[in-house]
Every structure is written in structure tokens, then in C-alpha cells.
Amino acid sequence: MSHWARTAVIVANGRAGGAASVPVREVAETCRGLVGEVSVVRTGCPGHARTLAAKAARDGADVVVAVGGDGTAGEAAGGIVTAVEADPRLVGPALLCVPAGTGNSFYKEIWQDRPWHESIATALGGTRPHIRQLDLARVEETRDTVLLGACSGLVAEALDAAAGLTRLTGRVRYQEAVTTTLRDFVPHPARIVVDGEVVHDGSVILANVGGGRYRGGGFLLLPRSVLDDGLLDVCVVTGDLDPRELPGLTRNGRHLERSEVLYRRGRRIEIERTDGAPLTFEWDGEVQRGRTRYALDVLPAVLPVLSPTGRP
């Protein structure tokens, strides 16, 4: 049987948290049995996966296989989408993720708990691909694309703290960072605007926009999010909630039952800190500093992603 993909480029991040447990050689061998031509490129620095995926798109690859975690997946997604924006004649390669990171939230969104070699066999093994055209978000201030989500407050501050916990690795590192951040965490005053309507103006623990349902591997912040509905979801946890309750509540989405939490959908979400101080903000795990405001616009159906079925 001849399979559908002629060319695949494997973009591998050897610095991702789970890289040691997913040998790139094995990923390449699995792909070679299913795709005519497979090449492997390795990232040399942060941001490199974006450049490599954009080049693969310009070279006409059918598939980009991103071997790494959520950061690698987000960079590869951005590379594909910006290459196609720059040259609309290009047909963007489909993205296939192999979970070699720490949280691997994006892989789980698409493939749940399936082992990676099964996902590759399903994605590349048939005579036609199952592709979902996912939405991304674009940050107005920087023009960056966002795959998984963006968040102010607690999540962004915990990511910042995690960077300093070099003695720990993996999920334990992030859990410890959340615990440390919660010790003296102070909510920030912010205005949240959805499609031009102010939905909250006051104290905020976090405002998370996405994208993916999970952040940080296991926190179900956006339980109702659909990756290809043409809309962004936003969850605002107001300062009326005790922040120490949040890790427990977001394990299974129970925070949505609380009156201190707002959940909305829209095409454009604006988050602005209202006391003039810089807003601690992050997207796809990268902490940002210096600005008081960020606006995110949906880019509907721009990213082809290989999936178990065309739609969930």
C-alpha cells in the first residue's frame, strides 16, 4: 500500500525535558517505513524550531514532525503559519507532534495517552491524512503566534519561578514553582475585554486565553475549549477566590462552578493591567515583561494538524 505523505521533516529539540526517552533515530526509522523521504534537523537554540519548520514549509514538505514539548510544538506551528502567510501559494505542511517534553499538553490534546509510535503509524500510515485545521491566536503587540495559550498572573509568575528552580526537573519543578508562587502571591488589577465588551474590571488572579484545555501539563483551565471552533476561550479567575484553592479546582475543571470565575468566548481578547505596573504575562510557556496590555486575535483554521480523526 502506498501511503499519502511523500516528504517529512523531523524537527527535534534535544533540550526538551523528555528528549532522552524518545530517541530521534527511532522516530526517524518509524517515519521512514511510512513516508517516501524523511530528513532530520535538530534545533540549535530557542526559537530555532520556528525557522526550521518555516523552511520545511517553503521546501514543500508534506509533514513537519516536531519532537519535543509544548515549546517546540508552538514554535513549529508558528513557523508553518508565518511561512504560508508570507507566500499564500504554499500549502502548509501538516504538523505531527511527538511528545518529548515535560508537560506535552498539546500532544495530549490531540492524541490523549497514545504511545507516540502508534500516533505516527495512525497519522502517516493510511492512504489519506486525517487533518484538523486548528485556530491559533496572534499577539497584537509582538505579532507572535500562540498555539496553546496565554496567561497573566499566577501561571506566568509560576513559570518565572520555575526558571529559578534548577535543582528540579519535569512536572515536579512546575508544581514546586506554583507552591512557592502561592506563598506571597498578590492578585493584579486588570480589565478584560472580549470582542469589545468589558467582562471584568477589578482584581485578577489569572486570565488565561486559549487554545489548549490544559496548561502546565495538568491544570484544566479551559475545559470547554475546542481547538478548531474559530474562537478563543478566556477564563478569568477573579481576586475574590482564595488562590490556594486554584490548583485543586483546576485539576478537573471545578473552578467553573465558582462564582468568582468567569468563562467567555470571542474573536479578540484584551487584557490590561490598570494600575500602570507591567503585566506578568506568558504565552506557550515564554514569560513576557514590560508591557501593561496584550491583545490576542484568533487566526481561525490556519494550522493543519495530523489527528486520529478529521474532527474529534
Ligand X SMILES: Nc1ncnc2c1ncn2[C@@H]1O[C@H](COP(=O)(O)OP(=O)(O)OP(=O)(O)O)[C@@H](O)[C@H]1O
Enumerate the β-bridge partners of residue 13.
none
Interhelix angle 24-32/116-125, rounded to 10 degrees, is 30
Compare residues 46 and 248 and give the one whose CB is closer to ligand X: 46
Smaller CB separation from ligand X, 266 or 285: 285
Closer by beta carbon to ligand X, 16 or else 302: 16
Report, in Å, the least distance between residue 136 CB and ligand X.
Answer: 17
Cβ closer to ligand X: 214 or 294? 214
Q: Annotate the chain with DSSP letters as a single string.
A: ---S-SEEEEEE-TTSTTGGGS-HHHHHHHHHTTSSEEEEEE--STTHHHHHHHHHHHTT-SEEEEEE-HHHHHHHHHHHHHHHHH-TTS-PPEEEEEE-SSS-HHHHHHHTT--HHHHHHHHHHSSS--EEEEEEEEETTT--EESS-EEEEHHHHHHHHHHH-TT--HHHHHHHHHHHHHHT---EEEEEEETTEEEEEEEEEEEEEES-SEETTTEES-TT--TTSS-EEEEEEETTS-GGGHHHHTTTTGGGGSTTEEEEEESEEEEEESSSSPPPEEETTEEE-S-SEEEEEEEEEEEEEE-SSS--
Q: How far is the CB of 72 from ligand X (least distance, A)?
A: 3
Pick the closer one to ligand X by CB: 175 or 203. Answer: 175
Q: How far is the CB of 36 from ligand X (least distance, A)?
A: 27
CB of 43 to ligand X, least distance (A): 3
Rounded CA separation 209/232 (Å): 7
Q: Which residues are at the interface with ligand X (CB under 6 A)?
A: 13, 15-17, 43-48, 68-72, 75, 101-104, 285
Nearer to ligand X, 42 or 293 (CB): 42
Is the CB of 149 or the CB of 304 nearer to ligand X?
149
- Minimum distance of ligand X from residue 217's CB (angstroms): 6
Of residues 73 and 194, the one with the C-beta less far from ligand X: 73
What residues contact residue 104 under an 8 Å CB cut-off, 6+ apart?
18, 69, 70, 97, 217
What is the closest distance, in whole angstroms, from the C-beta atom of residue 47 to ligand X in the complex? 6
Smallest distance from ligand X to CB 296, Å:
19
Task: In angstroms, give the least distance from the CB of 271 to ligand X.
Answer: 22
Residue with the shortest CB distance to ligand X: 69
> What is the phi/psi pair of residue 74, to 5°?
-65, -40
Q: How far is the CB of 13 from ligand X (least distance, A)?
A: 4
Is 42 or 268 the residue whose CB approaches ligand X more closely? 42
CA nearest neighbour of 66 among 88, 96, 43, 37? 96
